[in-house]
Chains A and B, each alone.
Chain A
Amino acid sequence: MSIAVEHISKTFGRFVALDDVSLTVDTGELVALLGPSGSGKTTLLRIIAGLEQPDRGSGPIRFHDEDVAQCNVGDRHVGFVFQHYALFRHMSVFENVAFGLRVRPRKLRPSKAAIKTKVHRLLELVQLDFLANRYPNQLSGGQRQRVALARALAMEPKVLLLDEPFGALDAKVRQELRRWLRRLHEEIHVTSVFVTHDQDEALELADRVLVMNAGRIEQVGTPDEVFHHPRTQFVMNFLGQVNRFHGRLEQGKVHFASLSLDWPNHDSVRTQPAQVFVRPHDCEVDVCRNGHSCFQATVTHVHSAGPNVRLELRAESGESLCAEVSQERYRELGVAVGSQVYIAPREVKVFAGEAG
C-alpha cells in the first residue's frame, strides 16, 4: 500500500505547523520523518492517520491511489503506535491486542478461537507471549511499546504509523528495539512511517529519511544521501556533529578561518558571504604544518572516553570547533589542553549566503 499526500498545510491559530508539504511512500517502504520538535513531523503523521484534519485547500491524501482525505481514522485501516503507548490500563496484554478484533461489527468479527490464535501469534511475533495475562502497569517501557505494536498489527493495517516510538525509552532499550523493529519490518513488510527527532534512529532504521524544519520538508533521500550530500544548511547542521564557519566566496575561492581553498563552483566576481561546514571526523589534526592547507588552533578540552577522542579547539581566528581523532592517533599526537595544533579540513561543505 503506497501513501501519497499532496500540498498539505496545517495551522494552529497563528502557528504554521505544516506549510504546503507533499510526500510519497512506496509500498513496503520504511520512511522516517526527522526534525527538531515543532518542525511539524508529528502533525504530518497524524494527518496521514486521520487523527488531525489538514487545512481547507490542502491536496488529497491517497492510500494506493484512493483518496482517503474524507475518511475518519477508523476507516483508514492504519496501525498507529503512540509515543506513550496509549495501552488500555484495565485490560490485560491479551485483551489489549485483541481489542481491534473484538470491536469489529459482528459480521466481520473473527470467532473467539480465531481471535485467540491470532493474538497469540502476534504476541509471539513481538516475543511477549509469556506475558499475555499481565496488565500494562506490570510491564517495562520496552515491553509496553511492543504490546502497542502488536495491538496495531492485529487489525492487519495497510499502513503502520509510529509517533516517536522509542522516545520514552532509555538509550539501551532504544537500540535493541530499533534493531528489532528493522527485523520485524523485513519480516512483515508493511508500509511504515515513523517520526523521530533522533538522527541515529532515522539513519539506521529507515529506507528513506525526510528531514523537516519549521513546517517544510528540507530534503528527502536515503540515509546515505541526506548524511553525505545535504542540500541545505539546516540538514547539514541537524545531521551529526558539525563545525560551522562564517566565511566568504571570492573569485573561485572560499575564505574561512585564515584558510583559502579553491572553490571552482563559484565563479562570480562578486564577493559573497558563505557558510562553511566541516564535520569533526573530517578535521585532520597534526602538531606541525605538514604541507596541507591548514590553520592553527589551541586545544581547550579533551573528551577521551569513547571509541574516538574529541578535541575541543579554538582557531586562531577566534572560532571554536571540534575535531575527532582515533584513540591511536591521539596517543601519537600527544596533545593536551593548551597544545597548539594544526587543522587541515579533509572535506568541506560550502553554502553561499548568510547563516540559515
Chain B
Amino acid sequence: MQIRVLQRSVLPGFGLTMGVTVFYLGLIVLLPLAALVLKSATVPWQQFWDTVCDPRVMASYRLSFGASLIAAAVNAVFGFIVAWVLVRYSFPGRKLVDAMVDLPFALPTAVSGIALTALYAPGGWLGRWLTPLGIPAAYCRLGVVIALTFIGMPFVVRTLQPALEDLDPELEEAAASLGASRLQTFRRVLLPGILPALLTGFALAFARGLGEYGSVVFIAGNMPMKTEIAPLLIITKLEQYDYAGATAIAVVMLSASFLLLLAINMLQWWSRRHSE
C-alpha cells in the first residue's frame, strides 16, 4: 500500500505527526481494548458462550442497544429543532440557551441520574402527573430512554450547529422560487445537506448512550430481565470477582458497537460523497 499525502502542507512533519497519532491511539484506545479482548480470550469458549447467551445478559443487550437507539433518534429530531432555532433566529437569551445545551456534558452523571429520578419518580414533580395517566416514567424502560436522551442531547446539537450555519439560506429561497413546498424544501434540499452532520450527532449520542452508566442506574430500577442495562451487569460481575464474565459481556458490546458505528460511518460517507 502506498502512503499518499492528500495535500501538501506548508508545515512539514507527516512522519512525526503520523508517529504520534499511531502511538497515542495505541496507548489510549487500542491497548486497553486489546487487554480486554486478551482477558476474555483466557475464558474457555463454552463458558464465554454461556455467559453471553444467558437470557439475563441478552435482555440487557436488547435494552442497552434499543434504548440508546431510541434516545439517539429522539435527540436527532428534537436536537435538530434546537440547533435550528439557535442558528437561524436571534432572540433575547439565545446565548444563555446556547450555554445550557452543554450542561449534560458538564454535570456528573450521577447527579443528573438522581435529579431525573427525583423528577420522574411516582412522587416527583413530573411523576406525580404521569403515574395517574398510566405512564410510569421512573423504574422502567422509559426511564432508561429518558436518561439516555438527556445525556445524548448535546452531541446532536453541537454537531448540527456548524452544519446549519454552513447551509446557505439562499438554497431554501431557490427551492421556494422553483415552486417547492415547505416539506419538499426540507426533505429534498435541507435534509440532504445536513445529513452527514446529523448522522455524526446520532452516532455520538448513540455511542454515549451505550456506555452510560451513572445516570441510568438511578432511574432504571435495575430489575433483572427488565430494566437492567449491560454496563450494570458488567459492574455486577466485577463486584462478584467474575472478571472473565465481565470481559465477555464487554467484548460482545464492543464488537456490536464497533460494527454499528462503522455502519453509520459508511452511511455518512455515502451521504457526504458530493459535498465539498
Contacts and interface: CB of A to CB of B under 8 A. Distances in A.
Contacts of B170: 82, 84, 86
Contacts of B178: 74, 99-100, 103, 151-152, 154-155
Interface stretch (B1-9, B12-20, B121-129, B186-194): B186-194
A51 interface: yes
Nearest to B169: A86
Contacts of A84: 168, 170
Given A90-B274, A137-B276, A74 B180 contact: yes
A86 B168 contact: yes
A280 B276 CA distance: 47
Interface in B17-74: none
A74 B177 CA distance: 5
Q: Which 3 A-B pairs have the closest CB atoms?
A: A100-B178, A86-B174, A86-B170
A82 B168 CA distance: 11
Interface residues of A, number: 27
A86 B167 CA distance: 10
Interface of A: 49-51, 72-74, 77-80, 82, 84, 86-90, 99-100, 103-104, 135, 137, 151-152, 154-155
Contact of B179 (A135, A137, A155): A155
B177 A135 contact: no
B179 A100 contact: yes
Contacts of A87: 174
B165 interface: no
A49 B271 CA distance: 32
Given A84-B170, A86-B168, A137-B276, A78 B177 contact: yes
A3 B266 CA distance: 51
A292 to B, nearest CB: 55
Contacts of A77: 179
A93 to B, nearest CB: 11
B161 to A, nearest CB: 19
Interface in B160-205: 168, 170-171, 173-181, 184, 188-189, 192-193
A99 B175 contact: yes
Contacts of A88: 171, 174-175, 188-189, 192
Interface string B256-276: 000000000000000100111
Given A88-B189, A152-B178, 11 more contacts: A73-B176, A74-B179, A74-B180, A82-B173, A82-B174, A86-B174, A87-B174, A99-B178, A99-B180, A103-B181, A151-B178
A283 B178 CA distance: 51
A135 B192 CA distance: 14
B177 A103 contact: no
Contacts of B189: 88
A51 B174 CA distance: 10
A174 to B, nearest CB: 20
Interface of B: 168, 170-171, 173-181, 184, 188-189, 192-193, 271, 274-276
A90 B178 CA distance: 17
A147 B192 CA distance: 20
A328 to B, nearest CB: 49
A65 B176 CA distance: 23
B197 to A, nearest CB: 13
A80 B174 contact: yes
A104 B188 CA distance: 13
A169 B276 CA distance: 19
Given A86-B170, A135-B274, A72 B176 contact: yes
10 contacts: A73-B173, A74-B180, A77-B179, A78-B177, A82-B170, A86-B168, A86-B173, A90-B271, A104-B179, A137-B275
Nearest to A95: B188
A249 B180 CA distance: 60
Given A103-B179, A151-B178, A89 B193 contact: yes
B168 A103 contact: no
Contact of A103 (B188, B192, B275, B276): B188
Nearest to A88: B189
Nearest to A46: B173
A90 B193 contact: yes
Contact of B177 (A79, A89, A90): A79
Contacts of B174: 80, 82, 86-88, 151
A30 B93 CA distance: 47
A79 B179 CA distance: 10
A103 B173 contact: no
A137 B163 CA distance: 17
Nearest to A80: B177
Nearest to B192: A90
Contacts of B276: 89, 137
A230 B170 CA distance: 35
B207 to A, nearest CB: 26
Contacts of A72: 176
A110 to B, nearest CB: 13
Contacts of A103: 175, 178-181, 184, 188
Contacts of A104: 179
A74 B176 contact: yes
Contact of A137 (B180, B188, B193, B274): B274
Instruction: Pick from A50, A80, A84 the residue with the most CB of B within 10 Å.
Output: A80
Contacts of B176: 51, 72-74
Contacts of A155: 178-179
A92 to B, nearest CB: 8
Contacts of B173: 51, 73, 80, 82, 86
Nearest to A90: B192
A84 B276 CA distance: 15
A31 to B, nearest CB: 19
A3 to B, nearest CB: 15
A137 B276 CA distance: 6
